[in-house]
């Protein structure tokens, strides 16, 4: 039995979300609340598999709601469901710890992809459009187009460049459509191969490589 928490102050939106979940999850137990305070209280009482949170409900209108929720219920994945443009808000919520961001006007097929990706594959979800745009932005502004070391694979070089440009594990996972655990594993391998222990030293070494070119 999958247990899901829906937190939204609009009854019709909660009903629609519930119906959508029932359409593609055979056995699901859904709890509905209409405020962030009630969401935190519900999460303290039940071991949910997923929390779906609106970002404009009473008591939870900023990225801090995700940070607070994660502190109180670490390990419980959060999917943000919002009217607000994902291009303006999604990456901020992902950086704060959300496992996905989807707009309320998204088709049910996209909602299904987001929920199943988080529940069954531990993926961080962003729409394909936003992943592509985020990657294009990184390629335009990311520091360091140079190669690192011949020992790094193509994927490791790509991820290393993202870390050096200031991106977080969850952001990289969302942009590249990878598990956060996969990105973390790549990070450990990159640091080991480059002979450093943290991203700051990795960046310093990378800058040295740039200077030597």
Mind listing the pLDDT tens digit for each residue in 45-68? 999 999 999 988 888 777 888 988
The CA-atom distances, in angstroms, between 87 and each of 64, 83, 161 are: 18, 12, 22
Residue 193, pLDDT > 80, answer yes
Are the C-beta atoms of 117 and 99 separated by less than 8 Å?
Answer: no
Residue 123, pLDDT > 90, answer no
Residue ranges covered by each domain of the chain: 2-126, 131-212
Residue 143, pLDDT > 50, answer no
Nearest to 95 by CA among 35, 167, 161, 40: 167
pLDDT for 140: 60
What integer is the mean pLDDT of 204-209?
61
Structure confidence at residue 201 as a pLDDT band (50, 70, 90): confident
The correct CATH number of 131-212 out of 3.40.50.11030, 3.30.465.10, 2.70.150.10, 1.10.10.10 is: 1.10.10.10
More confident: 135 or 7: 7
The correct CATH number of 2-126 out of 1.10.10.10, 3.40.50.720, 3.40.50.2300, 3.30.160.270 is: 3.40.50.2300
Residue 165, pLDDT > 80, answer no
36: CB partners within 8 A, 6+ apart: 7, 53, 57, 58, 59, 60, 65
The CA-atom distances, in angstroms, between 98 and each of 58, 88, 185 are: 18, 15, 20
Mind listing the pLDDT tens digit for each residue in 73-95? 888 999 999 988 887 788 888 88
């Amino acid at each position: 039995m999958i247990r899901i928490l829906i937190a939204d102050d609009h009854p019709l939106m909660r009903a629609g979300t519930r119906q959508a979940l029932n359409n593609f999850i055979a056995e699901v137990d859904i709890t509905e609340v209409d405020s962030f305070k009630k969401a935190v209280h519900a999460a303290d009482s039940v071991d949910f598999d997923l929390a779906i949170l609106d970002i404009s409900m009473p008591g939870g209108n900023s990225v801090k709601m995700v940070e607070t929720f994660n502190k109180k219920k670490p390990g419980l994945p959060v999917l943000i469901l919002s009217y607000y443009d994902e291009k303006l808000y999604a990456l901020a919520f992902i950086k704060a710890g959300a496992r996905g961001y989807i707009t309320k006007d998204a088709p049910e097929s996209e909602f299904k992809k987001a929920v199943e990706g988080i529940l069954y594959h531990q993926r961080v979800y962003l729409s394909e459009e936003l992943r592509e745009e985020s990657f294009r932005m990184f390629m335009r502004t990311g520091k360091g187009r140079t190669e690192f070391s011949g020992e790094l694979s193509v994927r490791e070089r790509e991820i290393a460049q993202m870390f050096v440009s200031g991106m977080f594990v969850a952001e990289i996972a969302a942009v590249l459509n990878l598990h956060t655990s996969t990105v973390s594993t790549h990070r450990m391998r990159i640091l080991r191969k480059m002979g450093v222990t943290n991203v700051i030293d990795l960046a310093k070494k990378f800058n040295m490589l740039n200077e030597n070119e």
